[in-house]
Amino acid sequence: MKYEKLAGSDLEVSVIAFGAWAAGGWMWGSTDRNEAIKAIQAAYAEGVTTIDTAPIYGQGTSEEIVGQAIKGNSRDKVQILTKFGMRWDLPKGDFAMHSKDNSGKDIDVYKYAGKESVIYECEQSLRRLGTDYIDLLQIHWPDSTTPIEETFEAVATLIEQGKVRYAGVCNYDVSQMEEAQKVCNIISNQVPYSMVKREIEEEVVPFCLVQGKSILAYSPMERGLLTGKLKSGHQFAEGDHRAQNKFFTDEFITKTNAFLQKIKPIADEKNATLSQLVLNWTVNRPGITVALAGARNAEQSISNAKAMHFELSEEEINFINDELEKI
75: number of CA atoms within 13 Å, CB side? Answer: 9
For residues 65-85, average pLDDT: 94
Q: What is the CATH classification number for the domain harbouring 118? A: 3.20.20.100
Q: What is the pLDDT of residue 238?
A: 72
Q: Which domain holds residue 27?
A: 3-223+282-309
Q: Is residue 257 assigned to a domain?
A: no
Question: What amino acid positions are annotated as catalytic residues?
Answer: 57
| φ, ψ (nearest 5 deg) of residue 184 | -150, 140
Q: Is residue 263 assigned to a domain?
A: no
Q: Is residue 165 assigned to a domain?
A: yes
Radius of gyration of the chain (CA): 19
Q: Is residue 322 assigned to a domain?
A: no
Taking only the tens place, the pLDDT of each residue in 136-149 is 999 999 999 999 99
Percent of the chain at pLDDT above 90?
A: 82
Q: Is residue 271 assigned to a domain?
A: no
Cα–Cα dist 152/247, whole Å: 34
For residues 220-224, average pLDDT: 91
Q: How far is CA 169 from CA 38, 77, 175, 181, 228, in A?
A: 28, 23, 12, 10, 31
For residues 74-99, average pLDDT: 96
Nearest to 50 by CA among 120, 1, 107, 102: 1
For residues 218-235, average pLDDT: 87
Q: Which residues contact 133 (CB under 8 A, 6 or more apart)?
A: 126, 162, 163, 164, 165
Report whether pLDDT(29) > 70. Answer: no
In which band, very low, low, confident or very high, does the pLDDT at 224 lie, cut at 50, 70 and 90? confident
For residues 107-134, average pLDDT: 98
Taking only the tens place, the pLDDT of each residue in 235-293 is 777 777 787 778 888 888 899 999 999 999 999 999 999 999 999 999 999 999 999 99
Is the model more confident about 239 or about 59?
A: 59
- Strands 94-100, 106-111: parallel, antiparallel or unpaired by DSSP? antiparallel
The domain total for the chain is: 1
Q: Is residue 259 assigned to a domain?
A: no
Mean pLDDT of the residues in the chain:
94
How many helices and strands in the chain, by DSSP H and E? 10, 13
Q: Is residue 149 assigned to a domain?
A: yes
- Strands 288-294, 214-218: parallel, antiparallel or unpaired by DSSP? parallel
Burial of 144 (0-12, 13-18, 19+ CB in 10 A): exposed
Q: What is the pLDDT of residue 27?
A: 66
Is the model more confident about 31 or about 287?
A: 287
In which band, very low, low, confident or very high, does the pLDDT at 26 lie, cut at 50, 70 and 90? low
Q: What is the pLDDT of residue 30?
A: 63
Q: What is the pLDDT of residue 180?
A: 98
Q: Is residue 323 assigned to a domain?
A: no
Question: Which of 28-37, 150-159, 211-220 shows the lowest mean pLDDT across its residues?
Answer: 28-37
Q: Identify the three-state secondary structure at position 83.
A: strand
Rounded to 5°, the CA angle 246-32-74 comes to 105
Q: Identify the three-state secondary structure at position 103.
A: coil
